[in-house]
Structure 1
Amino acid sequence: MRKFSRIFSALLLLALSCLANAQDLTASVDRNELAINETFTLTLRYSGPQSGGQPDFNLLEQDFEVLSRQQSNQYRVINGHAESYVEWTLVLAPLKEGKVFLPSLHLHGQVSDAIPITVNKAGESPSGNSQQAFLEVELDKEKLYVQEQLLVKVRLYTTVGLHDIATDPLQIAGAHVEKVDEQRYERRINGVGHAVYELTYAVFPESSGELQIPALNYVAVTGRRDPFSLFNRNAQRIRLRSEAKTIQVDPKPDSYTGSHWLPAASLGLVQSWSKDPEEFKVGEPITRIITMRAEGLRAAQLPPLPKLNIEALKTYPDQPQQEDQSGANGITGSRIETTAIVATQPGSYQLPAITITWWDSKTGRQRATQLPAFRFKVSGGALPQAAQQTRPSNEISPDMQPTINKDHFWRNLAIAALASHLFWLVYFIQQRRNRIQPENKNNTKDLNLRALTRELSIAIDSGDARLLNKTLDKWLNTRYAGGTPETEEFTKLRELVSEALYKQPSRPLNIGQIRVLVKRIIDREIQNEQATSKTLLPDLFA
């Protein structure tokens, strides 16, 4: 009996000892030192008689971002000894550099130990060169002037499969920021192939001084996405952090003498007319189109052009059109000013030259772009004297009523032509799109005839025969589904472009005649499709 009592006491003490050891909450990490753009794994294990519940993981969010969290229940027998526990595995990313502590966590009266973590700058940890994914930030210049374009390229390199990539948009205090390009390609680094995901931002600082480019956070999931599984156990959510950058922004140089500060890579002026310059007549409205295009400037930064003030020429300016085009080289802004002109007397006229002063950001010096003075002749008889006079007084006398009516007639004619152009252009495109849609539904989204017509107009303005030929092919193939009608206008149009491209010596483009041909082509289509309507499409470029 005494022997049995001793054995029982020993077993009881052993059970109490095992119970004391079994109820425990332990925390461990896979590494204590890492870079700000890296992640580490926290493993939290609870072994005890109580079940259910979990620690308050919100305590981690003060210094760390929780990228993923998994829970598993384990039961195993080793050498006849049974063991059960609950384990949480968390992937964490540090939010700041320096010495930080992984806080103690609590569960069922048990407390885990706090763990010190050292967070270095990006790339300073021993494992910084062997990462399977990393970020690179590149600026296209070392310093710049205020309001000048800065290109910021952020590249994500990876040697493993990544999906569900998400990033915060780039936001910079005191600067205008636009994402202008996105590319995916491959690059070999030290003989190892990397998939590259590149974003390009155009940044325009609004004041001088130091410009801070903040660090960007990328979050992605590693591993191949399995569409047949609700749980991708091998996938891991990672977070990458780019390196912050600083660049010096200088004020406008004191040597600059222009009336508007325009730091650009290039700036050009192009003039075109709605009619051939040889066909100007008294009383008939003609339309002058001037396009200012600047590489590295937004359209909102381009200044208005000087107004015309010439005796015997009445002018009716339209609202300017502003357009930004984005690409790998940033933003190219365009400002298009359209003015209807009515001559009241025959004779020879000269429109003054237009000079725009700007700062060449490539060479670092002031430059000037000039649209030369333009001479033209107006034929026909002079309008009656009453139609050329205006009365400054607010009173309208009976003998002035015909003058006001005639003056308003030409003004209203020009304004109506300009306003109705957009309406009929949109209507025509919509009708054309509705007719093509049943034939080829797959290409409906790609048909943007209004944008193509605008591209064609810009190509004609540029005077570049190669650009015009390329844009014309795209416009014709889209509008006529790959086929071109054999008409006099189309034949002449091709002939003019071919002469400028291939004839020796080459002939310059006849921009006025090309515009007339394009207008006739569209007018004929409108007449064919709207045979019952008596309203014709106004000038395409008016």
Structure 2
Amino acid sequence: MSLNQINWAKKCRSPWLLLLTMLVALLPLQAIAAQAEATVSKNIVAVNQVFQLTVSVDTAINPNSVDFSILSPDFAYGQPSVSSSTSLINGAMSRNTTWTLALAAKKVGTATIPAFKIGSSQTTPITISVLKGSQKNNTAVSNQTNVRVTAEIDKNTLYVGESINYRVKIVIGEQLSQASLSAPSGDGLVVSQVGQDAQNNIVQNGRRYLVITRNYQLTAEKAGKIIIHGSKFSGDAVRGANGFSSGITVPVNEDARDITINIKPKPTDYKGLWLPTPDLQLQQTWQPQVSNNNDVTTKVGEPITRTITLRIKDVAQSNMPNVNLTYPETVRIYNEKPEYRTENGYSVMTLKQVIIPRQTGKVTLPSLTINWWNTTTEKQQRSEIKGLILNVIADPTANNQFSPPAAITPPAATIHSTKAITTAGIWPWTTLIFALLWLITLVLFIKKRQQPVVTTTVTAAQTTDLISILEAAINANEPIKVQTYYQQWRQQQYTTLTTQPPLLQQLDHEVQAMMAAHYSASNNSWNKQTLLALLNQAKQLTVTKQTSMTLSSLDPK
């Protein structure tokens, strides 16, 4: 037997061994087929200059198989884009997976892109030369971020308690992500943002920029020199993005310049509430309007609205003075909540008061005086609004229209007839007198039967009209009209309501609760159904009394 025959026989006796030998022989071929490679678009770059890295392997593989975090020590890099492809050439199928990402070197010198391990393969390390970059290439290459932050203030000298406007602008000439701006700061300064950011576009040297403007109000709390540490801008500039790569994010940190300001103390001879400002405006309006003589005739229960507006420049809302006015007890006062707003550098407060006279006579409404320090002239000033003198009278319409019917007085002849009875002693005269008395009694009976019915009918109609108007005002949620109509109705029905003191007290209390809910500074809720129910009780009481009057007038007694 030849050597080849012997070998063949041995192989035939071990088929599994033959198969294993073939598989082992194929493994190196597979390893050789799966080749990994890394390339760069350039290997000499400037600091922060963006270039492209490509990593590929000639097989289909999981896109997360490459760990790019090993680039972090020396490079900034963007989010990689991954592509896979399959091709069939001359009956041979091939697959490929490619990663593409943007890189930028962080420092001058020599940097190395390390080897990437992909499955059983790995790439070859790449050495990059990182240059400082020439001055003329800075705009295209490196450290210029195309983001500028500037800040300015209205003035550098102010008083304790005075405010200034700090305006910061961010000029942006490239794509940013995760951008933020911090407020300025300083020892002894209270800082608050004013309004919303404003945005606009400008063109400089043919290039378009986005400009974001933000305003802060800075209020000084102590005297001396204070450094305003500028606002700080931070974000990430996205660079090198194209159709094949998402680009890299380069950190951007820009600070506005520091500004030194001088804070003056309060003058030692100043009297009153300290209020430094270059301008203070104090105004008021009356509704109904009043003439210049400040002397007005009004009626009991007729409301007057006083609106006070205080405008102060360069003063924070928290430093606005409280307006406290003391009114006489002969009027009832309802204060609305003060309204605050900011307008062209002014803090504006609007206070509305509803004044309702409670009794007749002369009433003096108080004036208001505010002392303040003019920071422009550096002198103390006083602003004042005058009060008002009210000549309060009873409502003549209510008195005439709703006065109760006059009492019936017996004719004088009745008295004289009594005298005649005592002096007459003759029967004919007696007969005549009795006849006259019978006629008078008959006339009085007819008058008593007719007159109350007519009078009650008119009063009932007037009552129904007035209470209907009052209920309509309640349902329409018009507190001033409710107050006015209620006072008229209360005056008309006072005699009837005094028979039920608890009901009258409840009505008065509920009307006051309504006014307080609408005009008081506290958040009181009010339910109109309670007042409507009390008015319904009063209507039933009025109907009962009117029915009683009508029936008593028909009594022959």
Structure (1 or 2) with the larger CA radius of gyration:
2
Taking structure 1 as the reference length, the TM-score comes to 0.49
Normalising by structure 2, report the TM-score: 0.47
